[in-house]
Amino acid sequence: MLESIHSPADVRALDRSQLAALAEEIRAFLVESIAKTGGHLSPNLGVVELTLALHRVFDSPRDAIVWDTGHQAYVHKLLTGRAEGFNNLRQPGGMSGYPSRSESEHDLVENSHASTSLSYALGLAEARLRKGVKGHVVAVIGDGALTGGMAYEALNQIAHLQPPNLVVVLNDNGRSYAPTVGGLAGHLSQLQVDPRYERLKEEISQRLKDLPLVGRQAEQAAFRVKESLKQLLQPSTVFDSLGLKYAGPVDGHDLAELEEILGRAKRLKAPTVIHVITEKGRGYGPAVDDEIDKLHGVGAFDPLTGRARQTELTYTDVFGDALLSAGSRHPEVVAITAAMGSSTGLLGFARAFPDRFFDVGICEQHAVTFAAGLAMAGMRPVVCIYSTFLQRAFDQVIMDVALHRLPVVFVLDRSGVTGADGSSSHGVFDLGYLRMIPNLRVAAPADATELCALLETALSSDGPVVIRYPKGTVPATPDLPVEPLPVGRWEEVRRGEDVAILAVGRMVEVAREAADRLEQDGISCGVVNARWVKPMDPRLVSDWARRYPLLITAEDNVGSGGFGGAVLEVLAPAGLAGKVRLSALPDMFLPHGKSAAILAEHGLDPAGLVKQVKAALATVTKAKR
């Protein structure tokens, strides 16, 4: 049936039996397609009926649908005529794994950061009211994303402004990546609703109008009766406390019930929260049975078993082993994650030391300041977050950790180019936004052994340290523990005469290979592993910048404010900045694609570095003439 679905209008024309068949076909299509390309599997299996109901009740794009985080919008893409795009999902030049404004008029928000949909939706709703634009705005937010502080801030203003054209759909599957944690999760799990409540409230309100009471006395009487009725029939919710209409919980897989309650919310002319209960991974046994993350985000896999086609050791795995080793030797070490324990390699630590593992929910700001409090009291917190998500806690890193010189260790997974997840997931800004912060030390390991060594260094530091590493595979886990490395000390891994490449992190191996190729062409190229981006090795000025005629910096970060800029800042006062050429990523949001291909496109592969070195040497030679 998918072949006949070109727009939401086609979905609205189907009868109940056709809709049931379409839902089954969508689930089979998603499993088969994502098994080939990888992507977000279980979040989309869980929202099939919900998405069908949304597109039958609301008229997108006349009615705006905003998907929080965006990883659960695959069904939305199918219903808006993009089934063929799944052949190249998350592939270079292919369809994005998130909503994309360039793909469809039905897509509004294309970043993958959670807890933002309510703010977007409120802004859209208020603008439409002021411009006289008809239609509703629907925000679809998960229970995991609802733990984020921005969601509470938006709810507060929604309650204040009371936009009549706004509907909030709370997709509650009890999980983000892992089971949702916190007081709100427990609150949601206990909520009940009695359909008699709204009907009786309206009847009593009408009868109160007929009583011989006037003015303030009548208002107070009405308020007391309504509140008593609410406490009798429905336990108070956080949404009620804010003055928002609340309906639910609703079976998120009962299409008829979903359509009925969405239709009621559409007619209410008041901001309404609809609490929908869905099952993550529904219809696919391996996802439902997976207790870790329900096959949340997957690479290519065997659709019969759900098992990955390739299982390789990664930097994340090695970090997890290194932290477990450190935790066994240092009882003051604690681990903190923002709803991504499995994705950041913390499951082993969590099993071994459950009382020293904290999943704070999708709350990066809180995670950082919580770590600050732990550090103030003598603990050694290790905050494990993807590079792109630490951006959300920039102020807390500065004011709550660095200002106080607290020994918090930030471990940034997925730094640099991350590949298929695209522009909002690449960790290409961290060197720039962290390097400027006083008291903060920033390190980038060149390999797995160095990652473990830098963790030991950071855990013995007297102030905050950041360790950033890429998404990638490694040959083996080193013998643990590894000896710590001195702070601010670089390593000249290859000595040359004509030029030196100062490389950061994953670029060290790229620089080595480029130097081998240059040697075959008669160019003597040195390679320096600049493992500390801050502080920088003083030998940069006293040795390498004076000994080498030319220096090339290489980093998988945007050039603006990155490692290359730091080198220039150090060398400029000594009059040596003219020897430096920068090789970095451009000042732009990078598309999704293979990491190696993206780096190569911007000259950050061995061939690209060879070309840049030769061009720079030619310029230097010409200038001497």
Query: Distance between CA atoms of 418 and 398, rounded to whole angstroms?
Result: 25
Query: Distance between CA atoms of 29 and 284, rounded to whole angstroms?
Result: 11
Query: Distance between CA atoms of 272 and 510, rounded to whole angstroms?
Result: 54
Query: Distance between CA atoms of 430 and 561, rounded to whole angstroms?
Result: 10
Helix locations, 429-548, DSSP H: 430-435, 448-459, 507-520, 539, 545-547
Query: Do residues 300 and 201 lie in contact, with contact meaning Cβ atoms separated by under 8 Å?
Result: no
Q: What distances in angstroms separate CA 430 from CA 314, 506, 533, 561, one per listed residue? A: 21, 15, 11, 10
Record the tokens describing residue 419, joined without a space. 């590949």
Geometric angle at alpha carbon 267, from 266 and 272, rounded to 5°: 55
224 assigned to active site: no
209 assigned to active site: no
Query: Distance between CA atoms of 12 and 436, rounded to whole angstroms?
Result: 54
Record the tokens describing residue 345, joined without a space. 């390699």
> 458-473: b or e for each residue (b if 16 or more CB lie within 10 Å)?
bbebebbbbbbbbbbe
Q: What distances in angstroms separate CA 105 from CA 57, 82, 267, 535, one per listed residue? A: 18, 12, 25, 47
From 386, 375, 334, 338, select the one nearest 360 (Cα to Cα): 338
Query: Distance between CA atoms of 502 and 103, rounded to whole angstroms?
Result: 40
Please name the amino acid found at residue 274.
I
Q: What is the DSSP string of 161-186?
A: H--TTEEEEEEE-SBSSSB--SHHHH
Query: Do residues 503 and 528 lie in contact, with contact meaning Cβ atoms separated by under 8 Å?
Result: yes
Helix locations, 38-90, DSSP H: 42-45, 48-57, 74-79
494 assigned to active site: no
Q: What distances in angstroms separate CA 156 from CA 122, 176, 567, one per listed residue? A: 11, 23, 46
Which residue in the list 27, 280, 534, 579 is annotated as catalytic? 280
Query: Distance between CA atoms of 207 and 217, rounded to whole angstroms?
Result: 15
Query: Distance between CA atoms of 542 and 330, rounded to whole angstroms?
Result: 38
CB neighbours of residue 130 within 10 Å: 8
Instruction: Give the CA count within 13 Å in the CB-facing half-sphere of 42.
Output: 27
Which residue in the list 364, 450, 456, 555 is annotated as catalytic? 364
Q: What is the DSSP string of 380-431?
A: EEEEEEEHHHHGGGHHHIIIIIITTT--PEEEEEEEB---TT-TTT-B-SHH
Between the two ends of the chain, the Cα-to-Cα distance in Å is 72
Instruction: Tell the burial category of 263 from Cβ atoms under 10 Å away from its Cβ (0-12, 13-18, 19+).
Output: middle
Q: What distances in angstroms separate CA 2 from CA 86, 95, 119, 469, 502, one per listed residue? A: 12, 17, 33, 41, 53
Q: Is 94 left (phi over 0), alpha (psi -120 to 50) or beta?
A: beta
From 521, 534, 398, 506, select the one nearest 446 (Cα to Cα): 506
From 46, 55, 72, 51, select the one nearest 11 (Cα to Cα): 55
Please name the amino acid found at residue 217.
Q
Which residue in the list 282, 392, 414, 534 is annotated as catalytic? 392
Residues annotated as part of the active site: 280, 364, 392
